[in-house]
Structure 1
Amino acid sequence: MNAPAISRFPVPEIKDLPEDIRDRILAVQEKSGFVPNVFLTLAYRPDEFRAFFAYHDALMDKPGKITKAEREMIVVATSNANQCQYCVVAHGAILRIRAKNPLIADQVAINYRKADITPRQMAMIDFAMKVSARAYEVSDDDIAVLESHGLSMDDAWDIAAISAFFGMSNRLANVTSMRPNDEFYSLGR
């Protein structure tokens, strides 16, 4: 039986990609042991691939008060709200690894309000979910809640940017019918 397509759009061969994109994909493959389908799917549009991953890296790899695991929590919760199977599965795996907790991704994806997270993390995800669904309602009161948990205006920006960026990512993943790699399902368990 043939494996299902990873995208409804054409997926280029790695050998045919521009050198910088090919090098990035091969580096990811070397580190993780497989090529996440998001890289192959987005490589269909090289200029957009570069822009996407530049912004992704700027948001997700930066140091600060919001940990890398907490950034992944935001992605998993908002991606679930946007019904993005790829991002829930892929970023759920990353969350399990970064949080060193095999249960947290499922808890956050299904109902973050009942997950084993801190009040600070709950406030962060509440804010991210509001940005994801009703950004037009965000007010100074929402920022004040974050500040009451020790988060700054820059942290609020980061949470909003992660939510907004992954809203776009979720929509692209759904439109392309991007399939999660089988490897993601068992990582961090």
Structure 2
Amino acid sequence: MTTPAISRFPVPEIKDLPDDIREKILAVQEKSGFVPNVFLTLAHRPDEFRAFFAYHDALMDKPGPITKAEREMIVVATSNANQCQYCVVAHGAILRIRAKNAHIADQIAINYRKADITPRQRAMLDFGMKVSAAAYEVGDADMAALKQHGFSEDDIWDIAAISAFFGMSNRLANVTNMRPNDEFYALGR
């Protein structure tokens, strides 16, 4: 059986990439032991690669009251709603590792309302899903509900931004037919 392509668009060779992009990819490879296909797929367009990962890192790597694991919960739930196989599998692996829980990613991807999460996390995911599916309906009642769970305005912005950013990411992954790396399936199990 032939291994399917990781993208329906051209995938550049790492050696042919601009220095900054090649260095970023090699650093990820050194840390994780493999190159996630998203890096290779998006490297096809270097300026967009840089912008994508700058915003990704600004949203996902920042410290704060929303933990890195909770940020991944938002990605997994909304990516499932957007039917993005790549992001559910890849970020599900990251969620399992960050949460130190082998089951949480599957629970959230299938039905976060039945997952073993806190009421605060459920409110966070309810809002992230609303932003993903019907942002035009977001109103003051949504803000009030989140504030009752201790979320600040900055936290609410982060939840919305993660949901919105991954909406774009999900669409690109689906259009490019990006395949999850086999390595992701076993991580954190």
* Map of 2:111 onto structure 1: 111
1:157 is aligned to 2:157: yes
- How far apart are 1:155 and its partner, in Å? 0.3
User: Which runs of structure 1 show a deviation greater than 6 angstroms over 4 or more consecutive aligned residues?
Assistant: none
* Map of 1:60 onto structure 2: 60
1:1-189, aligned counterparts within 5 Å? 1-189=1-189
What's the CA shift string for 1:108-154, capped at 9, x where partnerless?
00000000000000000000000000000000110111100010000
What SS does the corresponding residue of 2:23 show, helix, strand or coil? helix
* Aligned counterparts of 2:25 and 2:40: Cα–Cα separation in 1: 8
* Aligned counterparts of 1:125 and 1:182: Cα–Cα separation in 2: 27
TM-score (norm 1): 1.00
* Aligned counterparts of 1:143 and 1:124: Cα–Cα separation in 2: 11
TM-score (norm 2): 1.00
Q: How many residues align?
A: 189
Unaligned runs of 5+ in 2: none
What SS does the corresponding residue of 2:178 show, helix, strand or coil? coil
What's the CA shift string for 1:67-103, capped at 9, x where partnerless?
0000000000000000000000000000000000000
Cα RMSD over matched residues?
0.4
* Aligned counterparts of 2:82 and 2:175: Cα–Cα separation in 1: 12
Q: Which letter does structure 2 place at the counterpart of 1:116?
A: D
